[in-house]
């Protein structure tokens, strides 16, 4: 069987390292030496070029096939150390600058021409220490092992008393930079996966918060659209929609329905005598009184100005009169004062019960409104019932 040739091994390893280094550095958005992966990709490229030049020994001048590979291997070790330093949580400011690393590279290159590949040993050991102290747990053990093996590999020839490793040994050693890049790729993949999970969780939380904000805004807009700002009860728009719905339900199930039209007596005199702020207080007090005096199924609303209305589902005319009298009598007990003076409040109320002639909320309101005017004409502070069609 034909034995392995050392030059062939160097060429094979060089091409493999060069290809992997170029491929891996292409995955990095940061190529300015601030990440471990970018430095180790450059280190693999340096090592690949060094092995290719070494494999062409005899076909190239000695400066290119012997001296330059030593310099490139020194650069490989410096880049490995710089990549390991990237894992430091708070590296010294000097490590962010290129001048110290260029100085270290120049010193290592000069020493490599004298000491050969052995100059890489202290650099690799220093990188291993940094990785042991600062590398992520998911890749720390294998990276420290690989750097330690690489450092030990340069000591084996000296311990064994040989000048170089066998071709088979070189092939095995060639797997080290490939494994370093593979370990780094795993670390970055795990970090990217964790970052994506964190981003997904943050986006989900933000989406939930946005949905909650939208729901809150929609509720606020709905409240603005359906609530009277001064009294806090329903406005005319909401009252008309609800009354139409109750009329349809009453006719579907054959239930009775009544409607109260309410007006504050002598409201203009209240504004003229006590001022508009006191008039607003009176409107707010009547609105609260109407809301609290009704059942949950009823709906009280302010139609505008000093006019209010209450729709009473499943309520006949007699029950509606009881509710109206309770509202009227309760209003007399309300305490509204202005500068120590009591503000007199009373209500005129008209009642209409749903009949066959009512085509919708408008006709029912119109009949209740006529009953209200009848109450005003009768002297106010009283209740009147609308006449039904003959």
Q: pLDDT tens digit string along 354-380?
A: 998 898 999 999 999 999 999 999 999
Structure confidence by residue, pLDDT tens digits, 123-136: 888 988 998 998 88
Region 236-385: CATH code: 3.30.70.270
Whether pLDDT at 162 is above 60: no
Mean pLDDT of the region 289-317 = 94
3-state secondary structure 306-325: CEEEEEEECCCHHHHHHHHH
Q: Which two tokens stand for residue 20?
A: 């992997």
160 vs 106, more confident = 106
**Is 246 one of the annotated active-site residues of the chain?**
no
pLDDT confidence bin for 1, thresholds 50/70/90:
very low
CA distances for 201 relative to 60, 193, 275, 300, angstroms: 58, 12, 57, 46
Structure confidence by residue, pLDDT tens digits, 322-339: 999 999 999 999 988 888
Percent of the chain with pLDDT over 70: 90
Helix or strand run (H / E) with residue 80: helix 68-85
User: What average pLDDT is seen over the chain?
Assistant: 85
Does pTM surpass 0.75?
no
Which residue out of 188, 306, 339, 387 is catalytically annotated? 306
What single string gives the DSSP state of each residue in 182-229? Answer: HHHHHHHHHHHHHHHHHHHHHHHHHHHHHHHHHHHHHHHHHHHHHB-T
Whether pLDDT at 61 is above 70: yes
């Amino acid at each position: 069987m034909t034995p392995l040739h050392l030059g062939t091994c160097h060429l094979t390893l060089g091409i493999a390292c060069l290809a992997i280094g170029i491929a891996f550095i292409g995955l990095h958005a940061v190529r300015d030496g601030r990440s471990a992966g970018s430095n180790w990709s450059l280190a693999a490229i340096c090592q690949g070029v060094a092995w290719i030049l070494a494999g062409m020994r005899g076909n190239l001048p000695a400066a290119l096939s012997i001296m330059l590979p030593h310099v490139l291997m020194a650069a490989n070790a410096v880049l490995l150390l710089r990549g390991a330093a990237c894992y430091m949580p708070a590296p010294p400011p000097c490590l962010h600058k290129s001048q110290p690393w260029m100085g270290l590279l120049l010193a290592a290159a000069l020493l490599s021409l004298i000491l050969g590949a052995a100059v890489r040993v202290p650099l690799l050991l220093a990188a291993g220490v940094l990785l042991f102290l600062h590398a992520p747990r998911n890749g720390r053990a294998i990276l420290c092992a690989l750097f330690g093996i690489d450092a030990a590999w340069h000591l084996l020839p000296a311990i064994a008393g040989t000048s170089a490793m066998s071709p088979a040994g070189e092939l095995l050693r060639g797997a080290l930079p490939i494994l370093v890049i593979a370990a780094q790729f795993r670390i970055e993949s795990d970090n990217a996966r964790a970052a994506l999970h964190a981003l997904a969780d943050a986006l989900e939380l933000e989406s939930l918060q946005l949905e909650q904000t939208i729901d809150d805004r929609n509720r606020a807009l709905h409240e603005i659209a359906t609530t009277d700002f001064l009294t806090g009860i329903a406005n005319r728009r909401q009252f008309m929609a609800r009354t139409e719905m109750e009329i349809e339900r009453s006719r579907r199930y054959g239930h009775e329905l009544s409607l109260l039209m309410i007006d504050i007596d002598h409201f203009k005199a209240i504004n003229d005598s006590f001022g508009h702020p006191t008039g607003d207080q009176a409107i707010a007090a009547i609105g609260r009184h109407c809301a609290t005096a009704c059942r949950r199924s009823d709906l009280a609303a302010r139609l505008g100005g000093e006019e209010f209305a209450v729709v009473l589902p499943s309520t006949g005319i007699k029950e509606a009169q009881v509710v109206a009298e309770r509202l009227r009598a309760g209003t007399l007990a309300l305490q509204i004062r202005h500068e120590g003076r009591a503000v007199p409040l009373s209500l005129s109320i008209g009642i209409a019960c749903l009949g066959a002639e009512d085509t919708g909320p408008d006709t029912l309101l119109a009949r209740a409104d006529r009953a209200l005017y009848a109450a005003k004409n009768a002297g106010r502070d009283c209740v009147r019932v609308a006449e039904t069609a003959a």
